[in-house]
Structure 1
Amino acid sequence: MSQKIQDILKERILILDGAMGTMIQRHKLEEADFRGEILRDHPHPLKGNNDLLSLTQPDIIKDIHRQYFEAGADIVETNTFGSTSVAQADYHLEHLVYQINYESAKIAKEVANEFTQKEPNKPRFVAGSMGPTTKLASMSPDVNNPGYRAITFDQLVVAFKEQAKALIDGGVDMLLLETVTDTLNVKAGLFAIQELFEETGKEVPVMVSGTITDASGRILSGQTAEAFLISVSHVPLLSVGLNCALGASALRPYLKVLSDRAPFFISAHPNAGLPNEFGQYDQTAVQMGKEVEDYLKEGLINILGGCCGSTPEHIKRIADIAKNYKPRTIDTIEAATTA
């Protein structure tokens, strides 16, 4: 990177992309599309494994990245939200984990470089998306056996490390541990990343984004926004933030908590409102833009994008509005924490 993202974040608000799944759904893909030629004879169903499309339908994924950059995104996320061995086990594709992550990173970086070459004064970045996996480390999936755990901390470390290595090898500019529902899971992810950095001698910035699951203001494993922040603050993060679950307006008070206390940059990529009874997101780009503008007016934000239901239309609207506002500054917080 010719200009460090840390320096750009002090100058302006950076725009993250919107939903990948929402855009993939527009293609109405069937089982054969997910399989492609390489997995034509795989004995298990693969429809719905969006991450696999980086291998079997790379042009679709490239086009989605391109649409988000054209809409004004500075950062796109790799198509790897469910690309750990833990999540891919549902499809019996653990053996393809490295390849899925590596190719996803490569695809996104290729498109980012295209846009950076066209506009060198507006470099585009790629964040390696690392979702929470499909298992919780601090809660039991069995109500009749509260002491049971479906996965251990050490197993998560192995899975996250494999994913992070492949993403970095593929060329991502940063890693984004997102949609955190269980703090113990993200701690395993952070541990894995730190261990990987030490082993390889190569580091990239790390972003963490939690998910407030309901009106109680807590993530699924029970922590408030402030407790969540404290739990991850031992790592030198690029940013901490919130995404998914709630629409933009409902997320604002919890972002304020992070903004008031975090010695890191603050990110948010909320859903386009809440889903309707059919699971669809009805919030328009104009409505979402109006809600996120409150973050900007209050100076809460450094990185802003969209999650479920958001599209290039939403991102364009957010990008156009964000140009009129200054980013949150962390100088005062840094001074307080070092005093």
Structure 2
Amino acid sequence: MPPLSSLSAALESGRTLTADGALATELEARGCNLDDPLWSAKVLLEQPGLIRDVHRDYFAAGANIATTASYQATPRGFAARGMAEEEALDLVELSVRLADEARREHLMEHPDAGPLLVGGSVGPYGAYLADGSEYRGDYSLAPGSSRSSMLPA
């Protein structure tokens, strides 16, 4: 089934969909140190295969939706690591590919498991700041900046 009709069909059928949970917790349990402004997006740089493995394990546990490792994956966040915007956007794309690979691998072994979906995790501006302000909502843009300056060109 195409992805959009799969989600629509699942919702219209009244089927319960279960999203994966706690990607960061699983990555930490597997030895990743996420004490970093990039949080789980750091693993996209260091051990991307591990992210795919966690997604696959969540599907095996019964999840229908894999949430990408992109909550804190922003061009500005990666720029702090010296990466160009194009490289940063490639890493966001990688987060989607890893979840999709896990989905495809699980469906090859369990063809009746579907629908299995990939959901993009998009954090608010405060997530990029990596100071907890996305929970408090107490961040603001610098004087003279605009909302569009926060987005990739």
Which segments of structure 1 move beyond 6 Å, counting only runs of 4 or more? none
**Equivalent residue number for residue 17 of structure 1:** 20
Choose the corresponding residue for 1:63, options 50, 53, 74: 53
Between 120-129 and 76-85, the greater mean CA deviation after superposition: 120-129
CA RMSD, 1 decimal = 2.8
CA drift at 1:119: 2.2
Partner of 1:81: 71
| Partner amino acid, structure 2, of 1:27 | R
Offset at residue 77 of structure 1 (A): 0.8
Output the TM-score relative to the length of structure 1: 0.36
Which among 112, 117, 120 is matched to residue 103 of structure 2? 112
Q: Structure 2 vs 1, CA of residues 65 and 149 (structure 1 numbering), >3 Å: closer, same or farther?
A: same
Structure 2 equivalent of residue 101 of structure 1:
92
Please tell me the residue identity of whatever aligns with 2:27.
I
Deviations 1:175-195 (A, max 9, x none): xxxxxxxxxxxxxxxxxxxxx
Match of 1:153 among 133, 136, 147: 147
Task: Name the larger-Rg structure.
Answer: 1
Is the Cα–Cα contact under 8 Å of residues 37 and 77 in structure 2 kept in the other structure?
Answer: no
Provide the aligned length of Structure 1 versus Structure 2.
137
Tell me, what secondary structure is at the counterpart of 2:57? Answer: helix
Sequence identity, in percent? 26
| Contact 1:140 1:149 (C-alpha < 8 Å) held by counterparts | no
TM-score for both structures, normalised by structure 2: 0.73
Candidates 35, 55, 72, aligned match of 2:62 = 72
Question: Structure 1: where are the runs of 5+ without partners?
Answer: 35-45, 142-147, 163-339
Please state how far the C-alpha of 1:90 moved relative to its aligned partner. 4.1
1:1-339 alignment runs, 5 A limit: 1-2=1-2, 3-11=5-13, 12-29=15-32, 47=36, 49=38, 50-95=40-85, 96-117=87-108, 118-120=110-112, 122-133=114-125, 134=128, 141=139, 149-150=141-142, 152-156=146-150, 158-159=151-152
| Structure 2 unpaired stretches of 5+ | none
Structure with more contact order per residue of length (Cα contacts < 8 Å, sep ≥ 6): 2
